[in-house]
Amino acid sequence: MKTELLGQEKNIVKVKVEFDAGEIAASLNKTLQELSQKINIPGFRKGRASRKAIEMRFGRESLYNEVISQMLKQAATQVVGDYDLDTIAPPSYDADRIHIREGEPLTCELTFEVAPEVSLPEFQDIEVEKLRVNVTDKLLDQTVEKFRNNLAKLNSIERAVEENDVVFMTFTAHIVNPDGSDEKTEPPQDSLVDMSNPTVQPEIKNALLGKFKGDSVSAELKPQIQNTEGRKLCYDMTVKDVLEKIFPEMEPEFYKQVLDPQGDSAFETAEAFRTELRQRMATRLEEEYRNQALERAVAQVVSLSQLELPGTLLKRQAALQRSHDEEDCQKRFGMSLEKYLRNNSISPEAYTRDSLQKAEALVRRTLVLEELANKFGVEVTKEDIDVEFIAYAQTYNIELAKVKAMYYKNENLMAQLSSDLRHRKAVLALGDKVRFRDVDADGLSAQEEGE
């Protein structure tokens, strides 16, 4: 096979590929053998079917197209290696202009999309603020109370619902349109509602307070989506039980449940417990605050980097996002994306504009992270992947062997994992290049808080 670089315009590279007659004949014979092994043709044993029989089954043009497809797939791999191309999509070619004539050479043109050139800023000029860790007594007390709340036992009680109780209820949810018609009713569901949880909607909390076991109540909420035009989200609830919290005492058994439920460590005094908990909180917060600062650093690098975003890549990303949105609308709302947009007064033009903006932000960040990984020489090792497999298995309580099989059987899934790990390692490497400035919580600039 001969190749010739025809030229490059922006991120589009064109390469001429020429196969001689012998290469075509070899590829044709290989394809015939593979098809003969895969299909059953009456009158022939598997692997013994003649070319004529295969052509009659599939047609000569279909056979030639399969040969072309396989030859160009192999050619593309070689071209990428020979010219050191950093491709961002499979190569394209004009199939209508490629025809096999046996005994003659074949020439065609492959078009590759490569990653655009990314000009990174000077890292020493980047400084980001990082929150200074300060585990105050107040924060420590709040954390202890959260643990006591989480470890509280629940006791059924015959009285009205109070602020600190947990309500066991059955509810149905439905959307009511301005004309009074129901748009969708969910099937009845059981739920435990912790009345002390700040995430509980005030309308639901107020409806349940003071109610007894067996009482039925309703609550109306405004749906948490834009342009609802008077529509309401209604919950019809029935109290099945009122559960009082019995909080654990501050004693060694509670300390062990919090700090070392599976181990042999013992914390006999409240002072020892609070000291250990404070240290662990400080360690966790230091990691959390550093990760937040790293994200600010990445945001600055992405903003300051110079690159031209490929329009084709933006369109593909926007199309992928639309596909995800369509699937999400069916799962969550039981309707098409088009109907969801109409119901929420979102024009197709506004949705497309928003999708392209999101695609641009994601593509820009991805390309910059990839350039950072290249600059820092980041490599993803087998050990990196194995650590990720173990974490996945533990998080979702799945056998490790099944997790590995799931990834190794899916090339796209494995490629995405490797890419994510590579970008994560690039962000960590960036942390060694930029400057961090410790600030107190009230000293973090409003701009950086919003990033």
CATH number of residue 108's parent domain: 3.30.70.1050
Q: Do 154 and 246 contact (CB within 8 A), yes or no?
A: yes
The DSSP 8-state label assigned to residue 92 in this structure reads: B
287 φ/ψ angles, rounded to the nearest 5 degrees = -65, -45
Q: Which amino acid, one-letter code, is at 29?
A: N
| 123 and 177 co-located in one domain | no
Q: Which two structure tokens, joined as six digits, stand for 351?
A: 């949705």
Positive or negative CA dihedral for 273, 276, 282, 288? negative
CATH number of residue 137's parent domain: 1.10.3120
Residue 255 falls within a domain, yes or no? no
Question: In whole angstroms, how far apart are CA 121 and each of 171, 306, 307, 406, 430?
Answer: 54, 8, 11, 39, 12
Count structural domains, the chain: 4
Looking at the DSSP bridge assignments, the partners of residue 6 are none
pLDDT recorded at residue 313: 87
**How many helices (H) and strands (E) are present in the chain, helices listed first?**
14, 11
| 340 and 383 co-located in one domain | no
| 106 and 123 co-located in one domain | no
Residue 318 falls within a domain, yes or no? yes
Instruction: Look up the domain containing 428 and give its range.
Output: 119-151+285-307+376-451
Residue 271 falls within a domain, yes or no? no
* CA–CA distance, 169 with 430 (Å, rounded to integer): 50
Q: Do 411 and 92 contact (CB within 8 A), yes or no?
A: no
The kind and range of the H/E element at 334 are: none
Token pair 């192999």 is at which residue?
A: 74
CATH number of residue 202's parent domain: 3.10.50.30
* CA–CA distance, 252 with 271 (Å, rounded to integer): 11
pLDDT recorded at residue 450: 45
Is the pTM above the cut of 0.85? no
Average pLDDT, the chain: 89
pLDDT digits over 385-407, tens only? 999 999 999 999 999 999 999 99
Decide if pLDDT at 249 tops 90. yes
225 Cβ contact list (under 8 Å, min separation 6) = 344
Where does a domain end: 113, 142, 169? 113
| 291 and 211 co-located in one domain | no
* CA–CA distance, 76 with 396 (Å, rounded to integer): 39
Class of residue 255 by CB neighbours under 10 A (exposed 0-12, middle 13-18, buried 19+): buried
What is the rounded end-to-end Cα distance, in angstroms, of the chain?
Answer: 51
Percentage of residues of the chain with pLDDT beyond 70: 94
Residue 263 falls within a domain, yes or no? no
Where does a domain end: 220, 246, 272? 246
Decide if pLDDT at 128 tops 60. yes
Between 106 and 447, whose confidence is greater? Answer: 106
Q: Do 236 and 146 contact (CB within 8 A), yes or no?
A: no
pLDDT recorded at residue 447: 43
Token pair 């076991």 is at which residue?
A: 213
Burial 285-300 (b: 16+ CB within 10 A, else e): beeebbebbbebbbeb
Residue 77 falls within a domain, yes or no? yes
Percentage of residues of the chain with pLDDT beyond 90: 66
Decide if pLDDT at 41 tops 90. no
Decide if pLDDT at 56 tops 90. no
pLDDT recorded at residue 224: 57
| 227 and 157 co-located in one domain | yes
| 135 and 195 co-located in one domain | no
* CA–CA distance, 23 with 100 (Å, rounded to integer): 12
Residue 163 falls within a domain, yes or no? yes
Burial 117-135 (b: 16+ CB within 10 A, else e): ebebeebeebebbbbebeb
| 40 and 109 co-located in one domain | yes
| 87 and 135 co-located in one domain | no
Where does a domain end: 113, 142, 173? 113
Token pair 């990834």 is at which residue?
A: 407
Average pLDDT over residues 133-141: 95
Q: Which two structure tokens, joined as six digits, stand for 75?
A: 């050619």
| 291 and 422 co-located in one domain | yes
| 99 and 146 co-located in one domain | no
* CA–CA distance, 398 with 392 (Å, rounded to integer): 8
Decide if pLDDT at 448 tops 70. no
Residue 254 falls within a domain, yes or no? no
Residue 406 falls within a domain, yes or no? yes
Give whichever of 272-281, 305-314, 323-332 has the largest mean pLDDT.
272-281
| 325 and 208 co-located in one domain | no
The residue among 158, 76, 148, 168 whose CA lies nearest residue 113 is: 76
Quick one: how far is CA 169 from the chain centroid? 33
* CA–CA distance, 302 with 237 (Å, rounded to integer): 48
54 Cβ contact list (under 8 Å, min separation 6) = 32, 35, 36, 39, 41, 63
Decide if pLDDT at 439 tops 90. yes
| 15 and 54 co-located in one domain | yes
* CA–CA distance, 124 with 69 (Å, rounded to integer): 49
Token pair 């950072």 is at which residue?
A: 372
